[in-house]
Amino acid sequence: MPMAERKASVVWNGGLADGTGSMTFASSNAASELPVTWAARTESPDGKTSPEELIAAAQASCYAMAFSNVLGQAGHAPEQLTVDCVCTLDMVDGGPKVTKVDLNVTGKVPGLDQSGFDELAQQAEKGCPISNSLRGNVEIAVTANLAS
């Protein structure tokens, strides 16, 4: 039996370039009917989301949890972690492909120096379930900044 299963649904109307979709988070109802379009992926979001933005959100939140856990296990519970993630969509071999996620984490962690913060940041990325889902298919980069 799985630890957890979550469900999202999308209704899409029309073709790729001129179509529109509506996404719902069926498991949590945390957001309702988020609009999604091809233009939001490749041009200006104009108040709509994209699969890449959702990957970035999933990666950032999962990594924040993983890093918080790694820091706590190392005896350095964080006061705060701020994680920004950029998910890059590129044309590869004539088609669109998610090629990279860049994680940028800034943390307030008492009793830890920059070197230790960097080391634990990399360790956390290796244990992050979303990173592990992407690894081998998407480049993952982590930049860690310890706030003073």
Please, where in the chain does CATH 3.30.300.20 lie? Answer: 51-146
CB neighbours of residue 110 within 10 Å: 8
Question: In the prediction, which pLDDT does 83 show?
Answer: 97
- Rounded Cα distance between 61 and 55, Å, is 10
Question: In the prediction, which pLDDT does 115 show?
Answer: 97
- Rounded Cα distance between 111 and 56, Å, is 30
The DSSP string of 52-67 is HHHHHHHHHHHHHHHH
CATH 3.60.15.10 assigned to domain 51-146? The reply is: no
**Mean pLDDT by groups of 10 residues along the chain of 148 residues:** 86 89 83 86 89 94 97 96 96 95 96 97 98 97 95
> Listing from the earlier edge strand, what are the strands of the sheet with 80-92?
80-92, 95-108, 139-146
Residues 6+ apart with CB under 8 A from 71: 77, 78, 107, 109, 112, 120, 124
Question: In the prediction, which pLDDT does 28 show?
Answer: 81
Question: In the prediction, which pLDDT does 1 show?
Answer: 84
Query: Max CA-CA distance within the chain?
Result: 55
Question: In the prediction, which pLDDT does 11 show?
Answer: 87
Question: In the prediction, which pLDDT does 26 show?
Answer: 78
